[in-house]
Structure 1
Amino acid sequence: MKIGLETESYHLQFMTGRMDIFEFIRKTAELGLDGVMINIVKWPNLPGWGTLASFEPEYLARVKAEIQKYGFFAEIDTNGTDPARLEQVIEVAHSIGADIIRTYVCMGTYDEDRMNQAPDNIRQIVPLLQKYRIKLALENHEEELSSEVIRMIDEVDSPWVRAHCDVGNAMMAWEDPVHAVRKLAPYAVTTHFKDHIIVHDGDDYLVCGVPVGTGNIDLEQIFRTLVESSTLTRINVEMCYPYAVSFKREPAAGGVSAVGEGAFAVRPTPYDLSLIKPLDYYDPPQELLEKMIEDQAKGVEQSVQYTLALRDKYCR
């Protein structure tokens, strides 16, 4: 099983201009990993598209050369199902040698119309996926239940359209992570491997990212499920810390109706509430930025070590 790293894991360094995609690729190699997942969703404070500064051929050729320098696999993270946009992303993926593209349907809130339109949109780009031998992976991205992702895949009915199994996002839709992974594993061609807790900020309960192996999710059981019940050859660490987000569906939408137990156990906030509210973690104030950048970097190292240890236990 190869282990990759998603650019989101260093989002604070990217957003402050301290890291670019070339430095990220080199850092991934230093961590002893096997590949990169490059997020090209538009990010605050970044030119171009996410962690790629440009879609120009010369720039993309440089990115591809850096990836090949380390013998890495490459994947791309995007969002939406607009056919014209996805065609552009497929061309970018082909240019840098990426063979899997992650996307998701809803944009911050559950949108039934988007969900219903998605299969028709995706069918339009299947010929281009087939031409370049690239797979599109639909993610359970905070708003979508695992069953809804599977329904869309079944409606498209193409070997080039499968699932992206995010092992933590099910919680935002009130779905138990182990349950969601068991359902998605047979469809999965890629993953985000992460960890979450539930926090209370005085106003509401939130899902909060933490370094992999330090949260509520039964990641050992999930890793074993991915090894035994899928054809995956890669698992991508996406350490979403510091980060917190509201629930996106109504309680019980995914089978869980309240916080308090298992993956939904409530734990202290990573940072004192008098210093920062959890919903401000992603773009923190200047006075906390240096500490949170340092904490994020340490969290990546901890997450990688934990994931590699699971690989050693279950894949060798």
Structure 2
Amino acid sequence: MKQRSDYEMKSAASSMKIGVQGGFYPVPADVEEEGAAEWLVRRSAELGCTVLQVRQLPKEPSRRKELGELAASLGIELETSAPGVFQLAGPEADPSAKSKLQEALREAKLLGMPVVRTGYGRLKVDSSRFNRSVAVRDHMNALVPSLKEAARMAEAAGLSIAVENHCDFTGRELAQILDAVDSPFVGAALDTANGFTVYCDPNDDIEALAPYALTTHIKDMAVIQSPVRGVIPFLPYGCTLGEGHVDLPRALELLAERSPRAEGLHLIIEPGWMKWDAERDIRQQELDFFEQSIRYLNRLRQTKGQVG
């Protein structure tokens, strides 16, 4: 990729879209499941966001169409996950995976999404680099045929698929997988803190995956002393953006400099494994987390986007 000038980097930073991972945002209990995505779109607009990751779209086609129209009218770009990406070929092949992915891509296109995301790890040892029954390199290579097929499908649909470093491989290992796939239609959904889960510095993940990043989860985590003797003495916990050990200012610089989709890149705020105060209202703490993190990320984007 051509090296971006300082002006181009500032322009890219200022254009990035800030939003929330809707699956973690506290939707009121009286909102029906079918209406949750609409409620989140309206709430995102109130928060000044311009992107929203929705975990579950409405089942009714008419409501999905209305959701897309509402989001567009409020200046909010939607993003969601796509199933079946890792079951298209190889030992985990599933005959139904292709149709599931095609349907997800079709829906994403209708809703104006430029990218859909996926993650292999599933928070399980077996689907991670710690699976002792298979060598790490062999495990990585086994994912490539499915991702190559996913790349062909994404190209045909006219959008991109972003693979999250999802508690499975280090950023450098995922970068090697993406190099083997070798398609502009499959890149990374960079999670800025998931490196802690595979015992690597998340700042190394950011460095490795910024050149592939098509979307993100902007997450921060703080390392604290473990209160339990006899176990690993350091524990990472989720925290409000800017209060942890992830170098988020550097992350934005690298994304503005190296991301192939830096213009309008989705900066989606996601909580890590949070340690809420049991003596305070949990929902209020969740609301505070998102509002404070949105303010932090807005300030950071403005700082990185200032043209001198």
* TM value normalised by structure 1: 0.75
Asked if structure 1 preserves the Cα contact closer than 8 Å seen for 2:71 and 2:78, the reply is yes
Q: 1:106 to 1:10 in 2, by over 3 A?
A: closer
Give the aligned partner of residue 240 of structure 1: 271
* TM value normalised by structure 2: 0.76
Deviation of the 1:136 alpha carbon: 0.6
Q: 1:165 to 1:14 in 2, by over 3 A?
A: farther
In 2, the alpha carbon distance for the partners of 1:11 and 1:239 equals: 9
Q: 1:16 to 1:152 in 2, by over 3 A?
A: farther
Q: More relative contact order in 1 or in 2 (CA 8 Å, sep 6+)?
A: 2
In 2, the alpha carbon distance for the partners of 1:194 and 1:132 equals: 30
In 2, the alpha carbon distance for the partners of 1:270 and 1:201 equals: 16
Partner amino acid for 1:38? Answer: V
Counting matched residue pairs gives: 263
Q: Identify which of 156, 162, 174 aligns with 2:181.
A: 156
Deviation of the 1:298 alpha carbon: 1.0
In 1, the alpha carbon distance for the partners of 2:75 and 2:105 equals: 21
Deviation of the 1:10 alpha carbon: 3.5
Q: 1:217 to 1:126 in 2, by over 3 A?
A: closer
How do residues 1-316 of structure 1 correspond to structure 2 at under 5 angstroms?
1-8=15-22, 10-13=24-27, 17=31, 20-39=36-55, 51-54=56-59, 56-78=60-82, 81-83=86-88, 84=97, 85-108=100-123, 109=125, 110=128, 111=131, 115-199=140-224, 200=226, 202=228, 205-231=234-260, 232-233=262-263, 234-240=265-271, 243-244=273-274, 270-271=276-277, 275=278, 291-316=281-306
Asked if structure 2 preserves the Cα contact closer than 8 Å seen for 1:13 and 1:293, the reply is no
Q: 1:5 to 1:16 in 2, by over 3 A?
A: farther
In 2, the alpha carbon distance for the partners of 1:134 and 1:148 equals: 24
Deviation of the 1:9 alpha carbon: 6.4
Partner amino acid for 1:70? Answer: L
Partner amino acid for 2:24? Answer: Y
**Uncovered stretches (5+) of structure 2, i.e. residues with no partner:** 1-14, 89-96
Deviation larger for 17-26 or 126-135: 17-26
Deviation of the 1:192 alpha carbon: 1.0
Q: 1:16 to 1:225 in 2, by over 3 A?
A: farther
In 1, the alpha carbon distance for the partners of 2:189 and 2:21 equals: 16
Deviation of the 1:215 alpha carbon: 1.8
In 2, the alpha carbon distance for the partners of 1:99 and 1:311 equals: 21
**Uncovered stretches (5+) of structure 1, i.e. residues with no partner:** 40-50, 245-268, 276-287
Deviation of the 1:25 alpha carbon: 0.8
In 2, the alpha carbon distance for the partners of 1:8 and 1:98 equals: 15
Deviation of the 1:87 alpha carbon: 2.5
Asked if structure 2 preserves the Cα contact closer than 8 Å seen for 1:197 and 1:208, the reply is yes
Identity over aligned residues, as a percent?
23
